[in-house]
Chain A
C-alpha cells in the first residue's frame, strides 16, 4: 500500500500565533507599550493551542472492524478533553460515535503538540483545526471511494454507498492503493445546525475504565515484557539542597538492591520492591549543602504591590488624578501559597527497547518538554525518546513538569532495567511548585451618582509562567501573564489602571488551577462588593450598572440568570446570607452565587449557583462537571488551603497539614450553561474565579464582616 501526501502546494493547516511574535512586533514602540499590548493579547485569549500537524494519518486510523482510532495529542486529566476532541473529529468524519476509540499519542508517533494541555485552551484552540483536518480527510476518502466505485457516493454510518448500490467501508477506503492528495481547498465544515455529536453530552470515553480498575495511570504502569523494578531517589531535606557527600555502604550490602546510581547531584537506587528501594535510600548517610532556609517573613517582604518596579498593564483615562481625591476608598487583599495536590502522586515507568528507544510512561501535561528533559538527562537524541503520557490522576498545572520521568529514565539507563519511580505524598508536598502568594491594593472613587469614577488595582505575585520561560522574555513582558490572569475587570470604568509587580520569590511557584484568576478575582470582586455597599446599592444591581459592550452584555445575562435561580438576594441576617461575584476568563464569562450559614463562627456553605457562558459547548455534561469541580476548588481555597514556610520547609507534608474540602463540607449546587453560538471557549477553569469573593461577600451580607484575606476565617 503506498500512500503519499501531496501537501506542498498549500499547507492546509496554519499554526497559531505565539507570544514571542506579538512581543517582537511591538518592540520599536517602547517597553511600556509592548507590555500593555502583550497583556491585551494574552488577556483576550492569545494563548497558543499548539499545532496539530497536517497529516490526517497521524490522528486517524481505521481498523479492520471499522472502528476509528483517534490518536490524541492532548492529555486526559479528568477534564474530558479526549471525549470532546473525539466528538469534533467524529462529527466531521461522519463516523458513528460507537465506532470511535481514543488513544493517547506518544511523542514518537506524532504529531507532537508544541504547547501542551493547559489554560483550558485545548478545545477552543482545536475546534477549527481538528475539524478541518477531519473534514479534509473525509473529502479525500469520499473522492477515493467515488473513484473506486465509479460513481457518486454518500457516507452514512461509516459506509460509502454508490448510486449503483455498491458499498465500501471507510476502513477499506482508507486502505485503497491510490495516490492520495490533500484537497486543494479546505473541505467545508458543518454548520452548527448540522451537528449531531457536537453539543451533545456524549458519555465520556474514559469513564468506564476509570470505574473498573483498568491500568491507565502512571502509577499503574509496569513493563509488559519483563519484570519491573522499582526506583527511589535520595531527596534533599529541603528544596534546593545539594549533595555534598554520600555514604551508601549499608545500601550496597542490602539484599534485593539491584543497582545504586550516583551522578552529579543524583543518588538513586533500583531494587526488587518499592519498599526496599526506599529503605536503601533511608540507610544512606548523606551530607547536604543547605540553601538559605526560607520563612514566611522572607516571602512576605518581597510582595510589594506599590513597588515602583510594577509594570503598567492597562491605562484608561486618568485614574491617578481622580484617585487623589479625599474620598478615595482603599482596600488590601491577600492570598496565600497553595498546593495543587493532584490525588495521584507522580510516577513514571522508563524502559529501553532493543532498538535503543527509551519509552517513558509519565503523567505530563507537556509531553514535548518532558521529552527534551529526559533526552537531556540521559544524553540521548530526542528522536529516540518516546514520552507516552498516561491518564493523569489530576494535573491542574502541576504536571507541567514531570520530574519522575527524568528520574526513572536515569535509573533505567544506568541499570539497563525497566524502572518505575513513584513519588510519595510527602515528596509531592515538599517538592511542589506552589500557587504563588499575592497581595493586592485597590483604590477607587465613586462619582456623585454612586458609580465608579476611577479604579486602580496594584497587584504583586510570585511567578506563575515565568518559571518556564526564558528570562529575557520575562523581562520584556515585565509582568507574569499567568499571575495577572483575571486582573482586568469587566466593568466600564472611565479611569482605570492596572499594575503588576513581579515578586521573585525564593520558593518554586508555578501554575495552579486557573493561574492568577482566583487571586485577582477575589480582590476585584470583593472590592466591587465593598463599593456597592458604600454606594448603598444592591451588589447585583451595582454590577449590572457598570456593564456594557459585548462581554458586559454576556455577563449581564449570566448575572441576571444566576440571580433568578438563587432568588437573589435571599434571606439575610442571623448568620445567613448570599454573595455574588463574576468574572471573564478569556472568552468565557461566569456568574456565581454562594449561600453562607455561619454557625458558631464556622462557615458553612449549603448551596452554590453558577451560570456560565462559554460559547458553544461541545459536551454540556462534561463542562458542567468541570464547573462543579471548580466550585469545590474555589471553596477549598476560600476556606482551607494555605501553605506557609518555616525553616525552608512547606507547612504541609501530607494531607493532615493540608486538608482538602470533604464531601460533608461540599454544597449542593446548581449549574446552568447558557446557550451560545459563539465558538467554544475554555470551561476547565473559569468557575474557580468568583467563588472566594462570592463567599466573602456572602459572609459580609450575613455578618457585616469584610474579610480580605484567604483562607477566610471569622
Chain B
C-alpha cells in the first residue's frame, strides 16, 4: 500500500490491516517523532494529522487509511530546514521537560492554529486538554501556543 506522509510517498508491502498507524510510523518507517504513551487514545502523545485533522495514531488501524489520505507527522512540521512557528515558540519559551509528550502537543497546537488564527486562552485549553503532559508543562504550553499564533504567517 501507498502512504502519503509529509508530502512523501512511502510504499509498504504486506501490511497487516489491523496494525496501528503509530507502530507502522515508528517501527516500519522510522518516523519515531510520533510517540507512544498509552495506546488507547487517552494521552495524545501519538497525535498526527490525517487530512489536516488531529488524529490519535495509536488507535487508527491501517485499514482506516484511504489511498488519497494525507498524513502529517511532527517530522513534517519544519519545511526546508525552517522550523514551524509552533516549534519556534516552544523553543523560545523552553517548554519541554522530559519532552515525550511534545510532538503530540505541537501537532494539536498546529491543528488548532491552522483553523483558528487568534485563539483565546479558553480555545487553547479546550483544544489541548486531551494532550497529557506528565511533567506538568501546561502553563508554558499555553503561553507557547499564544506566541506561535503571533508567529504564524
Q: Are A625 and B94 within 8 A (Cβ)?
A: yes
Q: Are A632 and B98 within 8 A (Cβ)?
A: no
Give the CA-CA distance A393 to B37 in the complex, in Å.
10
- Residues in B neighbouring A30, C-beta threshold 8 A: none
- Give which listed residue, B37, B39, B40, B131, contacts A344 with CB less than 8 A: B37
> At the interface with chain B, which of A13-21, A163-171, A200-208?
A200-208
- Give which listed residue, B33, B40, B103, contacts A425 with CB less than 8 A: B40
> Which among B42, B106, B124 has the highest number of chain A CB atoms within 10 Å?
B42
B130 to chain A, nearest CB (A): 7
User: Which residue on chain B has the smallest CB distance to residue A219?
Assistant: B36
- Residues in A neighbouring B101, C-beta threshold 8 A: 343
- Residues in B neighbouring A621, C-beta threshold 8 A: 94
Judged by a CB distance under 8 angstroms, whether B68 is at the interface is no
Give the CA-CA distance A569 to B75 in the complex, in Å.
48
- Give which listed residue, A78, A230, A622, contacts B99 with CB less than 8 A: A78
Against A, the Cβ 8 Å flags (1 = close, 0 = not) of B49-78 are: 000000000000000000000000111001
> At the interface with chain B, which of A209-217, A324-332, A454-462, A470-478?
A209-217
Q: Are B100 and A208 within 8 A (Cβ)?
A: no
Against A, the Cβ 8 Å flags (1 = close, 0 = not) of B16-50 are: 10010001001110111101111110110100000
Q: Are B38 and A655 within 8 A (Cβ)?
A: yes
Q: Are B136 and A391 within 8 A (Cβ)?
A: no
User: Which residues from 659 to 690 on chain A have a C-beta closer than 8 Å to any C-beta of chain B?
Assistant: 659-664, 666, 668-669
Q: Are B94 and A654 within 8 A (Cβ)?
A: no
Q: How many residues of B contact A (CB 8 A)?
A: 56
Q: Are B136 and A661 within 8 A (Cβ)?
A: yes
Q: Are B94 and A344 within 8 A (Cβ)?
A: no
A420 to chain B, nearest CB (A): 9
B44 to chain A, nearest CB (A): 10
- Residues in A neighbouring B26, C-beta threshold 8 A: 219-220
Q: Are B134 and A425 within 8 A (Cβ)?
A: no
Known A343-B100, A425-B40, A629-B137; judge A211-B94 contact (CB<8 A).
no
Number of inter-chain CB pairs below 8 Å: 169
Give the CA-CA distance A105 to B26 in the complex, in Å.
26
- Give which listed residue, B38, B75, B97, contacts A78 with CB less than 8 A: B97
Q: Are B74 and A666 within 8 A (Cβ)?
A: no
- Residues in B neighbouring A203, C-beta threshold 8 A: 91, 94
Give the CA-CA distance A633 to B135 in the complex, in Å.
8
Known A345-B36, A394-B135, A655-B40; judge A664-B129 contact (CB<8 A).
yes
User: Which residues from 211 to 235 on chain A have a C-beta closer than 8 Å to any C-beta of chain B?
Assistant: 211-215, 217, 219-220, 222, 230
Judged by a CB distance under 8 angstroms, whether B141 is at the interface is yes
User: Which residue on chain A has the smallest CB distance to residue B130?
Assistant: A662
Give the CA-CA distance A342 to B97 in the complex, in Å.
12
Q: Are B19 and A275 within 8 A (Cβ)?
A: yes
Judged by a CB distance under 8 angstroms, whether B11 is at the interface is no
> Which among B27, B100, B141 has the highest number of chain A CB atoms within 10 Å?
B100
Judged by a CB distance under 8 angstroms, whether B5 is at the interface is no
B93 to chain A, nearest CB (A): 9
Q: Are B136 and A394 within 8 A (Cβ)?
A: no
Q: Are A391 and B98 within 8 A (Cβ)?
A: yes
- Residues in B neighbouring A660, C-beta threshold 8 A: 132, 134
B116 to chain A, nearest CB (A): 16
Q: Are B99 and A391 within 8 A (Cβ)?
A: yes
Known A343-B100, A663-B131; judge A273-B27 contact (CB<8 A).
yes
A132 to chain B, nearest CB (A): 29
Judged by a CB distance under 8 angstroms, whether A51 is at the interface is no
- Residues in B neighbouring A422, C-beta threshold 8 A: 36
Q: Are B136 and A343 within 8 A (Cβ)?
A: no
Against A, the Cβ 8 Å flags (1 = close, 0 = not) of B113-153 are: 00000000000111011111111111111100000000000
Known A344-B37, A393-B35, A663-B131; judge A633-B136 contact (CB<8 A).
yes
- Residues in B neighbouring A549, C-beta threshold 8 A: none
User: Which residue on chain B has the smallest CB distance to residue A272?
Assistant: B27
Judged by a CB distance under 8 angstroms, whether A107 is at the interface is no
- Residues in A neighbouring B96, C-beta threshold 8 A: 78, 204, 206-207, 210-211
Judged by a CB distance under 8 angstroms, whether A362 is at the interface is no
Judged by a CB distance under 8 angstroms, whether A44 is at the interface is no
Q: Are A343 and B132 within 8 A (Cβ)?
A: yes
Give the CA-CA distance A669 to B31 in the complex, in Å.
35
Q: Are A656 and B37 within 8 A (Cβ)?
A: no
- Residues in B neighbouring A519, C-beta threshold 8 A: none
Judged by a CB distance under 8 angstroms, whether A87 is at the interface is no
Give the CA-CA distance A79 to B125 in the complex, in Å.
25
- Residues in A neighbouring B134, C-beta threshold 8 A: 341-343, 394, 660
Judged by a CB distance under 8 angstroms, whether B87 is at the interface is yes
Give the CA-CA distance A539 to B28 in the complex, in Å.
59
- Residues in A neighbouring B95, C-beta threshold 8 A: 207, 211
- Residues in B neighbouring A214, C-beta threshold 8 A: 33
User: Which residue on chain A has the smallest CB distance to residue B138?
Assistant: A666
Q: Are A664 and B45 within 8 A (Cβ)?
A: no
- Residues in B neighbouring A395, C-beta threshold 8 A: 98
Give the CA-CA distance A630 to B33 in the complex, in Å.
26
User: Which residue on chain B has the smallest CB distance to residue A273?
Assistant: B27
Judged by a CB distance under 8 angstroms, whether A350 is at the interface is no
Q: Are A629 and B126 within 8 A (Cβ)?
A: no
- Residues in B neighbouring A40, C-beta threshold 8 A: none
- Give which listed residue, B36, B43, B91, contacts A655 with CB less than 8 A: B43
- Give which listed residue, A393, A629, A630, A668, contacts B100 with CB less than 8 A: A393
Q: Are A212 and B78 within 8 A (Cβ)?
A: yes
> Which among A207, A215, A633 has the highest number of chain B CB atoms within 10 Å?
A207
Give the CA-CA distance A220 to B23 in the complex, in Å.
11
Q: Are B37 and A632 within 8 A (Cβ)?
A: no
- Residues in B neighbouring A342, C-beta threshold 8 A: 98, 100, 134
Q: Are A79 and B97 within 8 A (Cβ)?
A: yes
Q: Are A345 and B37 within 8 A (Cβ)?
A: yes
A217 to chain B, nearest CB (A): 7
- Residues in A neighbouring B124, C-beta threshold 8 A: 663
Give the CA-CA distance A514 to B111 in the complex, in Å.
36
A321 to chain B, nearest CB (A): 45
User: Which residue on chain A has the smallest CB distance to residue B96?
Assistant: A210
Q: Are A78 and B27 within 8 A (Cβ)?
A: no
Judged by a CB distance under 8 angstroms, whether A631 is at the interface is yes
- Give which listed residue, B33, B43, B99, B133, contacts A206 with CB less than 8 A: B99
User: Which residue on chain A has the smallest CB distance to residue B78?
Assistant: A212
> Which among A79, A393, A626, A660 has the highest number of chain B CB atoms within 10 Å?
A393
Q: Are A663 and B136 within 8 A (Cβ)?
A: no
Give the CA-CA distance A626 to B38 in the complex, in Å.
24
Q: Are A207 and B40 within 8 A (Cβ)?
A: no
Q: Are B83 and A212 within 8 A (Cβ)?
A: yes
- Residues in A neighbouring B133, C-beta threshold 8 A: 343, 632, 663
- Residues in A neighbouring B30, C-beta threshold 8 A: 222
A621 to chain B, nearest CB (A): 6
- Residues in A neighbouring B136, C-beta threshold 8 A: 628-633, 636, 661, 666
- Residues in B neighbouring A275, C-beta threshold 8 A: 16, 19, 23
- Give which listed residue, B19, B40, B75, B140, contacts A628 with CB less than 8 A: B140
- Residues in A neighbouring B142, C-beta threshold 8 A: 663, 666
User: Which residues from 593 to 651 on chain A have a C-beta closer than 8 Å to any C-beta of chain B?
Assistant: 621-622, 625-626, 628-633, 636
Please, could you name 25 A-B residue pairs with CB atoms under 8 Å apart, sorted by A?
A78-B96, A78-B99, A207-B90, A207-B91, A208-B91, A210-B102, A212-B74, A213-B32, A217-B100, A219-B36, A273-B27, A275-B19, A342-B100, A343-B132, A344-B35, A344-B37, A345-B37, A422-B36, A425-B39, A625-B140, A628-B137, A654-B39, A654-B42, A663-B142, A664-B125
**15 extra interchain contacts, Cβ-Cβ under 8 A, other than A78-B97, A661-B138?**
A206-B99, A207-B95, A211-B87, A211-B99, A213-B31, A219-B32, A222-B30, A274-B23, A274-B27, A343-B43, A394-B134, A394-B135, A625-B140, A629-B97, A663-B125
Q: 5 tightest CB-CB pairs across the interface, nearest first?
A: A213-B33, A632-B136, A393-B100, A210-B99, A78-B98
